[in-house]
Structures are given as structure tokens and as C-alpha cells.
Structure 1
Amino acid sequence: MQLSYGNKKILQIAIPSIVSNITVPLLGLIDVTIVGHLGSAAYIGAIAVGGMLFNIIYWIFGFLRMGTSGMTSQAYGRHDLNEVTRLLLRSVGVGLFIALILLALQYPIEKVAFTLIDTTDEVAQLSALYFRICIWGAPAVLGLYSFAGWFIGMQNSRFPMYIAITQNIVNIVASLCLVYGFNMKIEGVAIGTLTAQYAGLVMAYLLWIRYYGNLRKRIEWHSFFDRQAMYRFFKVNRDIFFRTICLVAVTVFFTSAGAAQGEVVLAVNTLLMQLFTLFSYIMDGFAYAGEALAGKYIGAGNRRELHQTVRRLFGWGIGLSLAFTLLYGAGGQAFLRLLTDDEIVITTAGSYFYWVLAIPLAGFSAFLLDGIFIGATATHLMLRAMIVASGCFFLIYYGFKGTMENHALWMAFITYLLLRGVLQGVLGRKILGYYSFRQKQPAK
């Protein structure tokens, strides 16, 4: 079956984004694999703790990617190359400013973090060493968020994919050389990660110079801090920031609530959440396509293509959700056995597995509408839906915790996913009416 032009455009953005998403956890997996052969479990614990800490820190500032993507795609649709250029400079500038704050506050951040994290003295010491080295990668990581969002807004998800693959290669080579060539142990792994992060930033800049270098002549430093433009930039990113805080709160609470029920329940929840994570990598790719294409057609004033793109995205979402439900139903237990051979954990997981089967159909619309809302820069509506869904998550869990225990946690999580999609769907019906579309020929 031959795909339509619109579906090809979706896949051209979605597939490289999916590859990029899958490569992200490989950076941490590579570090764990290397330290796993150093002869002490404390090294693995240190990487796990340090990685978790940086995931939380950087996740909070993910608005640099999402906000940049939505606003850039709209400027691209309007063919406003001056604003396209300003948006990249503005985003990178804000990212570097935040990175400098993180570097200046690294000591209190470290103290607070390791006061809250309960671990052994050896793991805490090694984690602190890992943190003190990797925190210097903040400018690179936040700068890459801005470049990735800008590239996606320019309808180009291939460059973030190339950068992610390059980072993994550099990380492997640098870490192996430092650990086994110079006997540096965990500091070698940290420096290897740091090297990979800056290699990615350098590559992003070189790709921009090579393929978008003609935009340099459009740099207007006097308009960089335009009051109205900066207000819109921070307004959109403020909504995404608080939405991310809600998302992090739900995710961290899910893990801690499972841990409070014992090691077996924690292990079961961790394994089952891998199936959610796998599904999220795929749907996030289509969400990125929604960011890029919805923003482009809104910027171009092309109502017809916007409507058709939304319909096509939901067609992909429904199809993939049904496919994942069938896949998990048929092979989910076999997948769990690949992750662990602990029969107690596998048997216990079976009691909760039907919740996993509900994830694809309950959650796909939340992912897709996140992307469409970001492309439309209707982030205030996305935030409202997230606040209500997050509040319901906690109400359901505490309301049913006494009688349903871990089932209450999963019921709350599935309801949270479903509510996000339903609420955004209701609010999203109005999005198309919020824009004064100009009469234009369909943008290609």
C-alpha cells in the first residue's frame, strides 16, 4: 500500500525521532555496563543514583526543546526566517543562562540531593564524584535541547538522530579508553559522558553552520531581547515547565509508592513500566511530528492541512495502540522473562499485567495531543489538563490504597493517562478556532 504525501511527512519526522528516543537511555546503559565490570556493586549504584539525579534535573528544563519546537515550526510555516533565527538564539541563550545557574548552585544542589537520597556511604561518595564531574555538562545538555527543538521545528528530525548516535559512539570510545586505558574507574565514565555531551553540542553547531549558515546574516542582536517576543517565549515555556513538574511528581511518586510496598512490588512495577517506556518512545516520535507539522500549518494559515494532519496522526495512534495491545498480550510475559529470571517477580507481575494491556489505548491520545498542543503553542491548555489529571492520580491512589494496594497505584496511573487525553481532546476542539487563518495555498 502506497502512503499518502501527508503520511510520508509524518513518518519522515517520526521515525528519526523514535530512533533518537531509543538511543537516549543507551548513554546510561553504556555507563552501567562499563562499571558493572569494575568488581563492586557500589559503582553500579553510583551510576544509577547519579543518572536518576541528572534525569530529574534536565527533565525539568525540557521546555527548552518543546517550546522552541512549537514556536519555530510556526515561524517556519510563516516563512519568517528572521524570527526562526531569533528563536534559536533566544533558546540557546536561555539554556546557557540556566546552565550557569546550575553550575553556580552545584554545591547546594548536591547537598540537598544526597540528603534526600538514602543509600550507603560508599555509593553516596561515588555518586557525588560522578555528579561533580557530570554537572559541568549542563551547558552542553541544555544547549542541545534548544538545537533539537529548533531542528524539529524546521521539520528536520534527522539531525537530532545523527547527534544522538554520535554521542553514544563517543561515549563508548571515551569511557572505555579512560576506564581501561587510564584506570580512572567512575571518574573515567563521568568524563566519557561529559565528552559525549560536548561532542553532541559541537556537532549540532557544525550541522547548523553547514546547512543553515545562510541564516547568520539574519542575526539582529538588537531585537534579541524584544520585550513582546521574550514574554511569549517565557509564557509558553512557563506552562511547559509547570506541566513537567506535574509529570515528574507523578513519575517519582509512582516509583516511591511501589518501593514502599516492598522489593517484589518495586521490581514488578519497574519491569512493567519498561513496557510503558517502550510504547512512549514510539508515540513520542509521532508527537514530535505533531509539533512540527501542526506548528507549520498554523503558521502558514493552512487550516485544511492542519485538520488532515491531526486525523492522520490519530490514525497512526489508534493503529499502533491496537498493535501494541496485541503484542503485549501475546509476548509480554516472554519480554519480562528476558529482563529477569526471578519466578516470584514474574508470577507477581502476572497479577498486574492487565493494567499494562490498558496503557496503549488509554495513553496514545495524551502523547499525540501533547505534540499538537506544543505545535499550536496552546501550552496553557496542556497545563490545565495535566493539573487535573495529576490531581486525580493522587486522589484515586489514596482513595483506594487501603483496599487495592498496588492495584490502586496502577488504576491511578491508567486513569491519569486517560484523563490527559480526554481533557486535551475536549480542549483541543477549540484550538483550531483560536487562530485567524489566512487564505493560502496548502504548504508543502
Structure 2
Amino acid sequence: MNRRILRLAIPNIVSNVTIPLLGLVDLALMGHLDSEVFIGAVSLGTVIFNFIYWGFSFLRMGTSGFTAQAYGEKNTPESFHILSRAMLISTLTGFVILLLQFPIEWLSFHLINGSEEVESLAREYFRIRIWAAPATLGLYVLNGWFLGMQNAKYPMITAIAANVLNIVLSFIFVRFFHLNAAGVALGTVIAQYLGIVVGLALFFRSYKALITHWNWPAVIDPKALKNFFQVNSDIFIRTFCVIFVFTFFTSKSASINDHILAVNSILIQFLLFFAFFIDGFAYAGEALSGRYKGERNRSLFLKVTRLLFYWGGLLAFVFSLIYLVANDLILGLLTNQTNLIATALDFRFWVVLTPIISFASFIWDGVYIGATASKEMRNSMLGASFLVFLPSYFLLQPAMGNHALWMAMMLFMLSRGVFQAFLFPRVMQKNF
């Protein structure tokens, strides 16, 4: 079982790590320019796209869970219908986002506050990057489907191709063409379309025989669509809570001043970097727990859950140790502005705690997605966001300032894991 977990987790970690690496490169490119407003601009722009794309990440999660269960049931036609159904929805959604880009821009910058200079640069970033929407959502579906088919290698190849190109293009556009934040956005757009081309090529390489199962009435079957949207509506609410928390975090950082916004934008990369590593095991959990639910194998479902927590805890310990020992070095790679580094060091305590406190919530997410236990995921996230995160921030902020934001974030991560552990017996009762 450990071999199965690692066979899925390691390629996912390799593909996932290119995403925060891309974020770190973008941050480093902005951090070595002559003003901290460039960091703030990319940070605000990224928050807006997190809001948009994370909101539709159910396309990946739902596709992964449903496909893994169909794989466990050995229902090959339904596996292909799931992919067709999800690609249809993602394509339509991507074009709707493009049509609504101007109201989305207005609403986004109405809700998120920054200085006039930061906001102007962030708008420029937004107006370019929005054109990647159809490709980005299509990649969510393809990668979720590959994972559900127990294939972690193809998402790795797709992610490496897209993100390496993104890094190269961003570097060229910023360093040689001096496009600054706009260059980072343009590099992302081009790379996302390359990614979808690579993903489709891989599908036709290994799975083109599935096209013989094409059946339009089965793709748009009302019962299947209802089930897809019911599960994914719960995942959407769950994801909306994550978006809300991170948007709130960035918005409150910006409301303090541009300096704290830049500092928190740098420090949050430590959490995101760990998240993409631990998500490798969470994605393995999606594939395997979905498969064993499809096979109705209760003992293997429980076994894989226990082993995922073992690997997750080990990874969290390693990351906390690295953050403790190499904090100064990592900060120096992200920016050469000594005033930002000096302030960031005042908050390094939270960075060290992050992996240990948060790993359980990521592992539980993988197990719950595979089991399509969407209601329990939704309820635990609502509790963590609105019963823990918000009250703790408003209670602590007058006395702790920016530390209150970090304390609230830690309590949010911790409570997610606690609530999901509490609900797990009910998940087992429903599914087995």
C-alpha cells in the first residue's frame, strides 16, 4: 500500500511543486525591482485569480473523485462520460468568464483595497491574465481525470511543461522586455494554453480507445448531471470558504500598508509551498480512497487513510525543521529589500508552525474528495471559516495587530482538521 501511495504521491509532488516554484519566481522577479509596489500588484492580482480559479477547482476535485470511483467499479464508459461532461462544463464556464471580465474586474477591485499605484498595476495584470481562463479550467478537468484513472504521471508532465515555460517567459518578459507585472501575466497566459495542448496530446496517446464509448445522451444525462452538480456545489462552497479566508488575509494586509502587504505576501508563500507538497499525498488519497469506495473495500479504505496521515505527518515535521533552520536563507532568495526581510523575521514563528498545524486538513480533504463526502467537507470548512477564523481575528486584532492575522490563519487550518476528524465516522457509515 505504501508503494501505491508513493507511486501516486511523488509525481503529484513533482507537478505541484512547479506551481509554488512559479509563484516564488514571480515574487522574486518583482522583489528585485526597485519598488515594493510590484510585489503588492502581483499579490492582489493573484488573489483575484485565486478567487476565480479556486472557485472552479471543483472541476478537478469532482472529476477526480467520480472518475476514481468509476475506475474502482471498472465502469470504463462512465469514466469517459465523466471526462466529457466535465470538459463541456469547463469550456462553457471559461468563455462565460471572458464575457464577464469587465464586471469581474470592477467587483474585484471594489472589494480588495490597495494603494492607487498598486491597484493600477494589478489591473494591468488582471486584463492580460484573464484570457487564460478556458485553458486553466480545461487543465483542471484533464488533471483530475488522469488522477482518477490512477495516472499521476500525465498531470506531472503537463504541469512541468506549462510551468517551466511560464517561468522562462516571465523571466524574459520582465528582465529583457521590462514588462514587469504585465510580463508575468503574459507568460502565464501563453503557458496555460501550452499546458492544455500537452494534456490533450497525452490523452490521445493513451486513452483514445475510450472515444468509442462516446454517447451524447449519456454525457448530458439529467441524473448524472444532477449528481455532478450536487457534489460540486458542496465543494464550491468549501472552496469559496478557502478563497474568502485567503482574500480576507490579503485584504487586511493591504489595509495596514503596502509594506505589511509585501511582507505577508512573501511569508504566505511558505504555507503555499508546503501545501503543494502535502497535496501530493492528498491527491493520492483522492485516487485511492475513491477507488476503494468504488470497490466497496472498507479495510483498504481505512488502511490508506492511516498511511496517508503517517506520510503527511512525516513531511510536516521535515518542513517545519527546514523553515526553522533556513528561514533567513529563503527570505533572501525571495527579496533583496532588507526592510522587508527585517519585518518578515518578526513573524517567522508562524511560518515554522504552519506545516505541523495544517497537514491534517490537507490529508482529510483528499480522503473526503475521493469518497465524494462533499457535505461533510462543506460543513467542516464553514465551521472553520466563520466560527473560528473570523471571530479569532476580530477578538485578537486590537491587541496583536498583524500577528492576529497569522494566529487566525493557524486556528483556521487546525480547526479544519479537527472538524473533519470528528465527522469521519459518519463518512464511513454512509459509504460502507
TM-score by length of 2: 0.89
Query: What amino acid does structure 2 have at the position aligned with 1:147?
Result: L
Comparing 165-174 with 208-217, which one deviates more in the overlay? 165-174
Q: Which amino acid letter does the alignment assign opposite residue 395 of structure 2?
A: G
Task: Judge which range, 339-348 or 21-30, deviates more.
Answer: 339-348
Cα 1:127–1:232 shift into 2, 3 Å: same
> Which of 134, 141, 144 pairs up with 1:146?
141
Q: Deviations over 1:6-25 (max 9, x none)?
A: 11111111111112222124
Cα 1:268–1:180 change in 2 (3 A) is: closer
Give yes or no for the alignment of 1:403 onto 2:412: no
Question: 1:393 corresponds to which letter in structure 2?
Answer: F
**Cα distance in 2 between the residues matched to 1:321 and 1:167:** 27
- Contact kept? 2:43, 2:265, Cα under 8 Å: no
* Counterpart residue number, 2:428: 432
**Match status 1:273 vs 2:291:** no
- The aligned runs of 1:128-277 (5 Å cut-off) are 128-171=123-166, 190-263=185-258, 265-277=260-272
Equivalent position SS for 2:207: helix
1:23–1:326 CA distance, 2 compared to 1 (3 A):
closer
Pairwise CA distance, 1:201: 0.9
Change (3 A) 1:267 1:200: closer
> Take 1:302 and 1:209, find their aligned partners in 2: how far apart are those partners?
32
Counterpart of 1:407, as a letter, is H
Match of 2:357 in 1: 362
Pairing 1:88–2:78 present: no
**Structure 2 counterpart of 1:57, which letter?**
I
CA drift of 1:214 comes to 1.0
- Bigger drift between 94-103 and 331-340 goes to 331-340
Q: Distance in 2 between matches of 1:346 and 1:200?
A: 35
| 2:368 is the counterpart of 1:373 | yes
Shift in Å, 1:75? 0.7
Which moved further from structure 2: 403-412 or 167-176?
167-176
Stretch deviating more after TM superposition (175-184 or 79-88) = 175-184
Comparing 346-355 and 105-114, the one that deviates more: 346-355
Corresponding letter in the other structure for 1:409: L
Helix, strand or coil at the partner of 1:246: helix
Q: Is residue 2:9 matched to residue 1:14?
A: yes
TM-score normalised to structure 1 length: 0.87
Q: Which runs of 5+ in 2 are unaligned?
A: none
Report the AA paired with residue 109 of structure 1.
I
User: What is the one-letter code of the residue matched to 1:272?
Assistant: L
Letter in 2 for 1:403: A
Q: Give, as a single letter, the amino acid of the residue that structure 2 aligns with 1:255.
A: T
Structure 1, gaps ≥5 residues long: 1-5, 437-444
Q: Distance in 1 between matches of 2:181 and 2:258?
A: 27
Q: 1:282/1:405 Cα in 2 relative to 1: closer, same or farther (>3 Å)?
A: same
Cα distance in 2 for residues equivalent to 1:212 and 1:338:
42
- 1:67 corresponds, among 62, 71, 82, to 62
- Judging changes above 3 Å, is the alpha-carbon distance between structure 1 residues 382 and 203 closer, same or farther for their aligned structure 2 residues? same
Q: CA deviation at 1:189?
A: 5.8
Letter in 2 for 1:94: I
1:326 matches 2:333: no
Give the aligned residue type for 1:435.
Answer: N
Quickly say closer, same or farther: Cα 1:222–1:20, change in 2 above 3 A. Answer: same
Q: Cα deviations across residues 98-156 of structure 1 (Å, max 9, x unaligned)? A: 11211221222223334445567776566545434432321111111000110111111
Question: In 2, are the aligned partners of 1:69 and 1:292 still within 8 Å (CA)?
Answer: yes
Q: CA RMSD in A?
A: 3.0
Query: Radius of gyration: which is bigger?
Result: 1
Bigger drift between 51-60 and 171-180 goes to: 171-180
- 1:95 and 1:162 mapped to 2: Cα distance? 21
Q: Which amino acid aligns with 2:53?
A: Y
Identity, % of aligned pairs?
45
Query: Residue 39 of structure 1: CA displacement?
Result: 8.9
CA contact under 8 A between 2:36 and 2:259: conserved in structure 1?
no
What count of residue pairs does the alignment treat as equivalent?
431
Q: 1:424 to 1:48 in 2, by over 3 A?
A: closer
Shift of the alpha carbon at 1:324? 2.4
Query: Displacement, 1:34?
Result: 7.2
Greater length-normalized contact order (CA 8 Å, ≥ 6 residues apart): 2
The whole-number CA distance in structure 1 between the counterparts of 2:41 and 2:348 is 31
Q: 1:253 to 1:179 in 2, by over 3 A?
A: closer
Question: Structure 1 residue 97: deviation in Å?
Answer: 1.4
Equivalent residues of 1:70, 1:375 under 8 A apart: yes
Counterpart for residue 100 of structure 2: 105
* Gap change, CA 1:422 and 1:202, over 3 Å in 2: same
Instruction: Name 1:439's counterpart in structure 2.
Output: none
Indicate if the aligned counterparts of 1:27 and 1:193 stay in contact, CA closer than 8 A: no
Checking the alignment, whether the CA contact within 8 Å between 2:167 and 2:187 is kept in structure 1 is yes
- SS of aligned partner of 1:260: helix
Relative to structure 2, which stretch is displaced further, 305-314 or 261-270? 261-270
Deviates most, 180-189 or 241-250? 180-189
Residue 331 of structure 2, aligned match among 317, 336, 339: 336
Partner residue, 1:394: 390
Cα gap change, 1:187 to 1:256, in 2 (>3 Å): closer
The corresponding residue for 1:56 is: 51
